[in-house]
A and B are shown apart, each in its own frame.
Chain A
Amino acid sequence: MYNLQERLWAEKKKILSKELAMLLIRLNMIKVGDFTLTSGKRSPYYIDLRVLPSYPSVMDKIADMYIEVIRNEISDKQVKLAAVPTAGLPLATAVSLKAKLPLIYVRETPKLHGHMKLIEGILEQGEEAVLLDDLVTTGGSLLRAAEAVRNSGGCVKHAVVLIDREEGGFGNLAQAGIALHYITKIMDVFEWIGEASVLSKGELKRIIEYLEGHGEGELQRA
């Protein structure tokens, strides 16, 4: 016997994944070329979400996508959101407003004035918070944020992002006891892009090879 609700969600998620991929293409948020990421790593593609603030209706739509993932994969009850600096904060605010979920945020660096603390907002001892960020690559910033929440007395079991760049983040987070939830995986985005014939075959092949080279495919997820 299969769970109907899970099946429905799997179908719905495929639609969300495609919708997101189309949004990324339409707003030119996926750049193909030679990039150096903040980590210093080279990458044949780059996800540029800097134009997002210019499109409030897209922010709204993306907030709905996060809400769907949270409701279907994490909890349909009240959950506290913890925004990861700095890109996670605007997105988490949009989600918090639309779903009426309480929000805290992890400070980028402990400030020198006012209260010295790692997070802003109300967090009770032992309370669970769901981390929210835009992207995950290897999981470094999510892990640092999880540490800040845990060191502040909170508990972290889930993280939600728009796109999993599939470069080890899923596994690294799992090791820290954190389940990663995403709206789409980068491999799926490029599959949609392939179908839509937006990139040349050569460009697409180069990216797929790069992604496969990172070895975090379906096997680890199964």
Chain B
Amino acid sequence: MKEGEFLLHMGRKSEYYIDLRTLPSYPEDFDEITTIFSRLVAERASDVDRIIGAAHGAAPLTVAVSMKLGKPYALVRKIESENSFRDPLHGEVKPGERTVLLDDVTSSGITLACMAAIVRAHGGIVDDAVVLIDRELGAEKLLSAFGVRLHSLVLLRELL
């Protein structure tokens, strides 16, 4: 975790910039954390057919959980603009599939809410989202409005 003032999404400023992107550079730690995280995912979202990760930041986390649980995955890319015609879904989601959303960190929950909408548009079922860290900036509330329960390994305040 790096301290300092960083411009986050939505222009919100934060003193903490959580750098989970360096995690795969430490394979032993990456393995351990993703094992613990996979257990949480399996516990909170049992019986899912597919894991959906936020591309590309959470791609390593998603692939790790997919391999550890032996479940298929797909990635959803952030929508850059309303005029983008690229399909944000990388991989497939079959109609009726039960899915769980994954991301490394959530703040407002907007990324996960968009992911839920995209997966549902492809016919997938979304009831749960699991993140490593919840920054508690409104994600739980926003997601519950979308009918998605948010689970996290840790809350940001537990780390401070």
How extensive is the interface on chain A, given as a class?
20 to 34
Please tell me if the beta carbons of B60 and A53 are within 8 angstroms of each other in the complex: no
How extensive is the interface on chain B, given as a class?
35 or more
Q: Among residues 9 to 59 in chain A, which have CB atoms less than 8 Å away from a CB atom of chain B?
A: 50-57, 59
Q: Which listed residue, A57, A85, A114, A122, touches B6 by the CB 8 Å rule?
A: A114
Q: Indicate if B47 sits at the interface (CB-CB under 8 A).
A: no
Please tell me if the beta carbons of B27 and A108 are within 8 angstroms of each other in the complex: no
Please tell me if the beta carbons of B72 and A86 are within 8 angstroms of each other in the complex: no
- The residue of chain A having its C-beta at the shortest distance from the C-beta of B70 within the complex is A56
Q: Indicate if B63 sits at the interface (CB-CB under 8 A).
A: yes
Min CB–CB distance B55 → chain A (angstroms): 7
Question: Given A86-B56, A93-B63, A108-B56, are A54 and B91 neighbors across the interface (CB < 8 Å)?
Answer: yes
Min CB–CB distance B91 → chain A (angstroms): 4
Cα distance A115–B22 in the bound complex, in angstroms = 12
Q: Indicate if A184 sits at the interface (CB-CB under 8 A).
A: no
Q: Which listed residue, B31, B70, B92, touches A57 by the CB 8 Å rule?
A: B70
Q: Among residues 110 to 128 in chain A, which have CB atoms less than 8 Å away from a CB atom of chain B?
A: 112-115, 120-122
Please tell me if the beta carbons of B30 and A96 are within 8 angstroms of each other in the complex: yes
Cα distance A108–B74 in the bound complex, in angstroms = 18
- Most chain A Cβ neighbours within 10 Å, of B34, B55, B59, B63: B63
Q: Indicate if A160 sits at the interface (CB-CB under 8 A).
A: no
Please tell me if the beta carbons of B67 and A94 are within 8 angstroms of each other in the complex: yes
Q: Indicate if A100 sits at the interface (CB-CB under 8 A).
A: yes
Q: Among residues 28 to 71 in chain B, which have CB atoms less than 8 Å away from a CB atom of chain A?
A: 28, 30-31, 34, 50, 55-56, 59-60, 62-64, 66-67, 70-71
Min CB–CB distance A217 → chain B (angstroms): 34
Min CB–CB distance A48 → chain B (angstroms): 11
Cα distance A20–B119 in the bound complex, in angstroms = 31
Cα distance A100–B73 in the bound complex, in angstroms = 21
Please tell me if the beta carbons of B7 and A59 are within 8 angstroms of each other in the complex: no
Known: A80-B25, A101-B27, A114-B17. 18 other contacts (CB 8 A): A56-B66, A60-B67, A90-B59, A90-B62, A90-B63, A93-B64, A94-B67, A97-B64, A102-B26, A103-B25, A105-B21, A105-B24, A108-B56, A113-B8, A114-B7, A115-B2, A120-B21, A122-B25
List the interface of chain A (C-beta within 8 A of B): 50-57, 59-60, 80, 85-86, 89-90, 93-94, 96-97, 100-105, 108, 112-115, 120-122
Give the 9 A-B residue pairs with the shortest CB-CB distance, closest first. Answer: A103-B24, A122-B25, A53-B91, A120-B21, A93-B63, A121-B25, A93-B60, A54-B72, A100-B27
